Amino acid sequence: MSIEFSQHADLLKQRGYHFITCDTQNVVELGDKIRFSNHYLKEYMPKSYPLHDPKFPCLLKKNEGMAGRNVRVINNYSDFKAAINSIPDIENYIIQEAIESNKEYSVQFLVIEGRIITYIAYYQISTEILFVRPRSTVIETTECRLDSPILSVFEMFFIHYSGFINANFKLINNRPIIFEFNTRISGDIFYISDSSVADLLTEYCKNC
């Protein structure tokens, strides 16, 4: 939907709709998992592997998906061969390094012209070192704030971007390793307090 809003922004605004968006290319470069896997800021991302040379453990992720759907944890070559032979559209998948940590963050940003205006965030702790929603067992969910150096890393990715954008990541040696961006409001904001969500939406309306 964020792509469609961007593509038809002028027409929608002429008809009286108010929303925040940016150039379609900027939406696609962050929101498309395959395009994002080739982003130049690779030091803040998991490694991506070619189909002929995976490393294990890894994640097999479809370009389009949400809430852990179309994500497979692959632990060995036998599992990998079985998985790719069962997927008819394997060209729409990426093979991503599995980052081993049982603590994962989700952040909903409001960004305008590359600058973070506000955000809401939480982390979850799982019993499993390879945390994949919703299959992993969660033992803690806590709303949180992020340190300024971490926010600065995200703003490097957000150059020229405007709108809502969600990020999922883990902290490794206090450095964010970002799995993906979703250029919309994420469905997991129900983990955040009602007052924080209301503040986020209020800020969005003020900036429309």
The band of 68, judged by pLDDT with boundaries at 50, 70 and 90, is low
pLDDT higher than 60, residue 67: no
For a pLDDT cut of 90, what percent of the chain falls above it?
Answer: 75
pTM of the full structure: 0.93
Q: Is the peptide bond before 57 cis (omega within 30 degrees of 0)?
A: yes
Domain 48-97 has CATH 3.40.50.9100: no
Q: In terms of pLDDT, which residue wins out, 133 or 21?
A: 21
DSSP state for residue 22 in the 8-state scheme: -
pLDDT higher than 70, residue 188: yes
Which tens digit of pLDDT belongs to each residue from 83-95? 989 988 999 999 9
Per domain, the residue ranges of the chain are 2-44+99-207, 48-97
Query: What was the pLDDT predicted at 31?
Result: 93
Separation CA 116–CA 164 (nearest Å): 10
Query: What was the pLDDT predicted at 167?
Result: 97
The band of 176, judged by pLDDT with boundaries at 50, 70 and 90, is very high
CATH architecture, range 2-44+99-207: 2-Layer Sandwich (3.30)
Considering only CA atoms, which of 32, 95, 96, 90 is closest in space to residue 65?
A: 32
The band of 192, judged by pLDDT with boundaries at 50, 70 and 90, is confident
Amino acid at 79: D
Separation CA 165–CA 172 (nearest Å): 22
- For residues 193 and 143, is the Cβ–Cβ distance under 8 A? yes
pLDDT higher than 80, residue 77: yes
